[in-house]
Amino acid sequence: MPSLSFQCLSGPVIALVTGLMLAAPAGAEQLVVSNYGVSANGMPFAVAMAKGYFKDEGANVTGIVTSDGGGTTLRNMLAGDVPYGEVNPSVVVAAIQKGADIKIVSDNVSTVAEFVWAVKPDSPIKTVKDLKGKKIAYTNPRSTSQALATLLLQSGGLKTEDAELVKTGGFGEGVAALDTDLVDIAPIPEPLWSKFKDKYRPVAKATDILPPLENVIGVVSESQAKAKGDFIRAVIRARRKAVDFMIQHPDEAGDIVAKAYNLDPAVGRAAVTNLTTSRTQGMPYWGPGTIHMAGLQRMIDLQKSVGAISGDADVSKMIDTSFLPDDIKGIQ
């Protein structure tokens, strides 16, 4: 990771990427994954590419297109006729409410275990209760980090208005704001946490204070689902194999992630080990694809609280489990 600043793709770059996707050779496909190369959610795709799992399962995946997440990821997927994307559930639900022809086909990350809220070592903040009157960093309005800041405060018996939420524009920028005392505490997710954990002191970890919350999901457009169903099934199987490999061989997987994410190998190994061993009320971070309705509904309700979703959403009608392997087809 060359710097603390994670810049989103510019308009011309997005246009170029989309053009490249459209110009791909026949039979070759790309995937769209939110924050790939930056955030932990997409790490299994790096492992699947490196280990040849997509090819083994019959999917000719030539690369992974990233974005800064949210609506940009979904727009890239739809504009490029990409068969499969991984994105935040709130964006998907909001798009479906507006008439987008997309379906949720897999549950990829079922918790927010990558989140740690940390302070400088000499900070007087020892517990969440000490956050009253303090400044808490979050990335952008209607983001997951903003919503989680509210839950963080609630875990300590506080209300949102008991603290000041400060927009930093990114997690790296949040760390910089913490360093310069613009905020008192910042969320530091993996793999940033494994990189900087010796520099800061954790006050709260998501695994300890929050329930399972649907983090990212696999989605497809209905037109692509009809045309490329076998490819979509192969992608889900390959990703599942990658998750299994990460659990069984965290060091090798960490080295693969480090190369794909431009991290020090020790940081890659630490991040993979941390997240493959984490459990949130028994729920792993990376899942095989099984859809967990309770966690999905929790995240939707949470995103409503920050205005990312409005109105009622019948999530059950947005799900298609037909692309999942038979042993995990049922909704849990």
For the chain, 332 residues long, give each residue's pLDDT as a single digit of tens.
333 333 333 444 344 344 444 444 447 899 999 999 999 999 999 999 999 999 999 999 999 998 765 577 777 788 778 999 999 998 899 899 989 999 999 999 999 999 999 999 999 999 999 999 999 999 988 888 999 999 999 999 999 999 999 999 999 999 999 999 999 999 999 999 999 999 999 999 999 999 999 999 999 999 999 999 999 999 999 999 999 999 999 999 999 999 999 999 999 999 999 999 999 999 999 999 999 999 999 999 998 888 888 888 789 999 999 999 999 998 88
Name the residue among 39, 121, 128 with its Cα closest to residue 87: 39
pTM of the model: 0.88
Whole-number Å distance between alpha carbons of 305 and 281: 23
The confidence score (pLDDT) of residue 68 equals 65
Nearest to 61 by CA among 300, 235, 320: 235
Strand order in the sheet with 201-205: 186-187, 116-119, 201-205
Parallel, antiparallel or unpaired: strands 102-109 and 286-289: antiparallel
DSSP, res 128 = G
Dist CA 318 CA 331 (whole Å): 12
Predicted pLDDT of residue 69: 58
Counts of helices then strands in the chain (DSSP H, E): 14, 11
What would you report as the CA-atom Rg of the chain, rounded to the nearest whole angstrom?
19
Q: What is the pLDDT of residue 237?
A: 98
Give the type of residue at 46: A
